[in-house]
A and B are shown apart, each in its own frame.
Chain A
Amino acid sequence: MPETLKFHFTPADPPRPDEANPHAKESTQVADVIDQLRDAFGEAIGEQVVYAGEHTVFVDKARLLEIAQHLKAELGFVYFVDCGGVDRFTDEDRFEVFYNLVNVADRKRLRLKVRVDEDDLHVPSVVSVWKAADWNEREVYDMMGLIFDGHPDLRRMYMPEDFDYFPQRKEFPLLGIPGSLPLPPQTPRGPLTMDPYAAAHGSKPVKSYEEPKSEEEE
């Protein structure tokens, strides 16, 4: 009986003290910004994590938009660097969205994180605050299936628009689901090739075919 493939998690690194990160910059030490946020929003600002000399703060999903507006207008975080999704594959708060923000004038870098539960995949969109979030949020939607409320144009980014699955979720098979992504037909008028391994299963595309008729002839 051959052994079935196991699912391997990447082991978590133990936390290390700040001074152990030779690349840590002063700009990522933003405890003061997080304190200011806490003063303004109180309970909505959650846990604060320092890892490798970088401050990360978890915020409440419901008040994300307010916090984003405050960060941009009052605290000067005008540069939206990046945003992405994480599938933690846990029972509760399965997904996570991170936002990397920069205050260019004061040279500060902040990472915001939002936890999203599998039962409620909605996240407020921050496109109204930072225009740059547009395509990043589309990418997270495409790969993870998180729905960004208030996004102006929430379409798939990479996968075809009629694709049914979210490929970066942990349960998605690495080689995809047969039949979900059709290959082109083997002849111009033939049906789509639904088998992704047609060649391995003995199909050999024909060298030539009936030439498609011109529009005048049809």
Chain B
Amino acid sequence: MAFDMKEGYLTTTVDAVLNWARSNSLMPMPMGLACCAIEMMAFAGPKYDVARFGSEAMRFSPRQADLMLVAGWCSFKMAHTIRRVWDQMPDPKWCVAMGACASTGGMHRCYGVVQGIDNFLPVDVYISGCPPRPEAVLHALMDIQEKIRNEYSVVDDYEFGQEQPVPTTQNNALLLPEGETIITPNVLENQ
């Protein structure tokens, strides 16, 4: 942008200005659930210094945050709390699944851990690693910024706030290898 032009004005779009401001002042809501949260602290600390990207102000109240960093494995019990916190964040908002556990359940392939937070949250960026390096978290933040600059428009704000259809799935059975019996809720009673 040429500020030294003699005319004294420049033309741009509202989106360009707003997205520039929004992407450089993301306020993360640190949802630290396990060891990934330690790397998330390093990401916020002086060495990796997320302040370079304008996100140093971690907000521990969801009402002041617009980026949720879900760091660590999420149990079925905790999922309800996370969803509640997410629901309290004002639009527009973004979500990062940090690490293998938050993205897929990771090594916790068992009954108590949600196999990926995308089962109940709209995740924008997934970070691989166990735990990811703070650089990877920074990179995810840059991806979110990229997403805001290129995909988000203030016109979306009109759409936000409207009621949207609830996505449903029909399949309640586990994904099983071929030939295995399907596990149903009364499996124990039939034995």
Report A's interface with B, CB cutoff 8 A. 1-2, 4-5, 158-160, 165, 167, 171-188, 190-191, 193-212
Chain B, interface size category, equals 35 or more
Chain B residues 85 to 111 lying within 8 A of chain A, measured CB to CB, are 87, 91-92, 109-111
Q: How far is the CB of A197 from chain B (nearest CB, A)?
A: 6
Instruction: Tell me if B188 counts as interface (CB < 8 A to partner A).
Output: yes
A209 to B169, CA, bound (A): 18
Q: Specify which of B112, B114, B121 is in contact with A205 (CB 8 Å cutoff).
A: B121
Instruction: Tell me if B180 counts as interface (CB < 8 A to partner A).
Output: yes
Instruction: Tell me if B83 counts as interface (CB < 8 A to partner A).
Output: yes
B127-170 near A? 1/0 per residue, CB < 8 Å: 00000000000000000000000000000000111111111111
Instruction: Tell me if B12 counts as interface (CB < 8 A to partner A).
Output: no
Closest B residue to A187 by beta carbon equals B166
17 A-B residue pairs with Cβ-Cβ distance under 8 Å, sorted by A, are A2-B180, A4-B179, A159-B112, A173-B187, A175-B109, A175-B110, A178-B183, A178-B185, A181-B112, A183-B120, A184-B80, A184-B82, A184-B84, A200-B175, A201-B169, A205-B122, A206-B164
Q: Specify which of B84, B115, B164, B183 is in contact with A208 (CB 8 Å cutoff).
A: B164
Closest B residue to A179 by beta carbon equals B185
Neighbouring A residues of B80 by C-beta, 8 Å: 184
Cβ A183 vs Cβ B114 within 8 A? yes
Cβ B91 vs Cβ A201 within 8 A? no
Cβ A167 vs Cβ B120 within 8 A? no
Cβ B91 vs Cβ A174 within 8 A? no
Instruction: Tell me if B178 counts as interface (CB < 8 A to partner A).
Output: yes
Cβ A195 vs Cβ B171 within 8 A? yes
Neighbouring B residues of A199 by C-beta, 8 Å: 116, 118-119
Report which residue of A190, A197, A202 has the largest number of chain B beta carbons within 10 angstroms of its beta carbon.
A197
Instruction: Tell me if B172 counts as interface (CB < 8 A to partner A).
Output: yes
Q: How far is the CB of A203 from chain B (nearest CB, A)?
A: 5
Neighbouring A residues of B171 by C-beta, 8 Å: 195, 197, 201
Closest B residue to A165 by beta carbon equals B188
Please judge, given known A-B contacts A196-B114, A206-B122, whether A178 and B164 are in contact too, CB under 8 Å: no
Given contacts A4-B179, A183-B119, A209-B164, 15 further A-B contacts (CB under 8 A): A4-B180, A158-B112, A174-B111, A178-B173, A178-B183, A185-B166, A186-B166, A197-B119, A197-B171, A198-B119, A202-B169, A203-B119, A207-B122, A208-B159, A211-B91
List the 9 closest A-B pairs by CB distance, nearest first: A176-B111, A184-B83, A201-B169, A210-B163, A181-B76, A190-B166, A208-B160, A205-B122, A201-B171
Cβ B164 vs Cβ A210 within 8 A? yes
Q: How far is the CB of B21 from chain A (nearest CB, A)?
A: 20
Q: How far is the CB of B78 from chain A (nearest CB, A)?
A: 10
A206 to B123, CA, bound (A): 10
Neighbouring B residues of A210 by C-beta, 8 Å: 161-164
Closest B residue to A178 by beta carbon equals B172
A2 to B178, CA, bound (A): 7
Q: How far is the CB of A206 from chain B (nearest CB, A)?
A: 5
A159 to B113, CA, bound (A): 11
Neighbouring A residues of B92 by C-beta, 8 Å: 208
Q: How far is the CB of B165 from chain A (nearest CB, A)?
A: 7
Instruction: Tell me if B77 counts as interface (CB < 8 A to partner A).
Output: yes
Cβ A183 vs Cβ B188 within 8 A? no
A190 to B166, CA, bound (A): 7
Neighbouring B residues of A181 by C-beta, 8 Å: 76, 111-112
Cβ B119 vs Cβ A194 within 8 A? no
Closest B residue to A194 by beta carbon equals B172
Cβ B119 vs Cβ A204 within 8 A? no
Instruction: Tell me if B46 counts as interface (CB < 8 A to partner A).
Output: no
Instruction: Tell me if B8 counts as interface (CB < 8 A to partner A).
Output: no
